[in-house]
Amino acid sequence: MKELLLWVLPNNGYDTVPAVREHLSAFCREHPGLRVSVWVRTQDSMWRRLFELLKDPQLRPRPDVVQIPSQWTSSLADLKLLKELGEPGPAPDLGRWLPGLRDHCRHLDKPQVYSLPWFLELRVLYYRREVLRRHGIDPETALATWDGLREACRTLAKRRRHGAPEFPLANPNPKESVSMLDLAPCVWARGGDFFSLDGSRAIFQREDACRGIADYFDLLASGWMSLKGSAGLPPKGFFEGGSAMQFSGRLPPAAPARPGGRGAARAEAGELRAVPIPGGEGAALLNAQSLAILSGTESPREAEALLQHLVDPETAAGYARGLGVFPATESGFRGAFEGFPELRPVFEGALAKARLLPNLRTLGTLEQVFDRSMERLVSGVVAKTYSPDSLRSELIHAGAEVDYIMSLTQR
């Protein structure tokens, strides 16, 4: 029996593999001579392993289909790690996907299609309405500005002994760290950016971007956003009731069955509200996940059939619904709010001004460099050595490394 290997990111924690397999059952029935194996890799290990395969094409195991952040498409296509989709026939029609995602399906400088959108996240600020009101915070006004968010965090921190959550804000980063994705809305809100418009140099060390990054790190340094607890384990997240607020790009998870029945679950879900991420008119972050076929696959036709099955509108919408993320098609996005009508206008407003990280030829590598710098700053927060000076110094050094990497593609 022929085997296809699918590598995915940990989209659903420990339930990632069962969730993917559930949506492969129809494909396996239609292709009885095929077996699909699903492997989970973290984003870091996915990047490292793909580079190992670049250095040694004979290395095994070698995936046929891979999940990648959409902004990696140009990087991996430039390295000739991705197969051109549709080849030798016509390229896939991108018309059904959201317009903002289509350029991320191609290499920056080429018309060919190398990846297709699978699902997306769109970050907003969630809050527990009853918790904020109980502690004298009016969320509609307090969360409209970054200063208001800081004041709300300060108030909640002072009232920990009076029933407020241990942390006003849960950390949205699964590594309890900080990444370029986490910082993007704050940087954009301050009028800054990470890279120049022509993609030739870093500009995240400039004043506007630095202020946006400092805004976010102040939440950590003030003890308002969670890091790992004293036992080395992350505290409970927002959706588990461990905090009053959280930045998140997902819809609330389905409430589990419990005494009190559906009415109790609906009442709890009704306490969750969302607003755009505070900070002026900055863009919202759209984080899209895509599927691609690795070049050199021994089963190109079968791999293309698997990819097309997973991005099929009905299949992809069902998978997205189970994760609490959004389908990448226009019709799928509009249909994602069943059960959450109060969240629809917030997410639709965020989508109207959403941005993705740029699909640069070296973006995957640049993310790695930047995120390592942020991890060092987080270590400084934990050690209580973080300061505005250490932030500026780290950004200057990261900027120099990024500029060097980007210069290599200009030669």
Residue 247: name the closest of 215, 206, 209 by CA: 215
Residues composing the chain: 411
∠ CA 369-357-176, rounded to 5°: 55
Distances (CA, A) of 26 to 32, 151, 153, 382: 10, 51, 48, 48
Distance in angstroms (rounded) separating the CA atoms of residues 101 and 401: 29
Q: 124-284, what's its fold?
A: D-Maltodextrin-Binding Protein; domain 2 (3.40.190)
Burial of 95 (0-12, 13-18, 19+ CB in 10 A): exposed
Instruction: Write down the residue that tokens 């559930």 correspond to.
Output: 22
Distances (CA, A) of 277 to 127, 176, 280, 391: 11, 19, 9, 22
pTM for this model (two decimals): 0.92
Whether residue 179 contacts residue 374, with contact meaning beta carbons closer than 8 Å, is answered with yes
CATH architecture, domain 2-122+286-355: 3-Layer(aba) Sandwich (3.40)
Intrachain domains 2-122+286-355 and 124-284 with the same fold: yes
Q: What is the pLDDT along the chain (411 residues), one digit of tens a residue?
A: 799 999 999 999 999 999 999 999 999 999 999 999 999 999 999 999 999 999 998 889 999 999 999 999 999 999 999 999 987 777 789 999 999 999 999 998 889 999 999 999 999 999 999 999 999 999 989 999 999 999 999 999 998 877 778 889 999 998 889 999 999 999 999 999 999 999 999 999 999 999 999 999 999 999 999 886 544 566 778 998 889 999 999 999 864 434 443 333 344 555 899 999 987 667 899 999 999 999 999 999 999 999 999 999 999 999 999 999 999 999 999 999 988 999 999 999 999 999 999 999 999 999 999 999 999 999 999 999 999 999 999 999 999 999 999 998 875
Q: Left if phi > 0, otherwise alpha if psi is -120 to 50, otherwise beta: which for 339?
A: left
Q: Which long-range contacts (CB under 8 A, 24 or more apart) does 230-236 make?
A: 234/171, 234/176, 235/166, 235/167, 235/170, 236/170
Q: Is the peptide bond before 253 cis (omega within 30 degrees of 0)?
A: no
Q: Where are the domains of the chain?
A: 2-122+286-355, 124-284
Distances (CA, A) of 12 to 15, 154, 191, 320: 5, 32, 33, 10
Distance in angstroms (rounded) separating the CA atoms of residues 387 and 380: 8
> Residue 153 gets which letter from DSSP?
H
**Other beta carbons within 10 Å of 34:** 17
Q: Which long-range contacts (CB under 8 A, 24 or more apart) does 393-398 make?
A: 395/204, 395/205, 395/209, 395/210, 395/213, 396/205, 397/373, 398/202, 398/204, 398/205, 398/369, 398/370, 398/373
> Residue 97 gets which letter from DSSP?
B
Distance in angstroms (rounded) separating the CA atoms of residues 321 and 196: 36
**Other beta carbons within 10 Å of 67:** 23
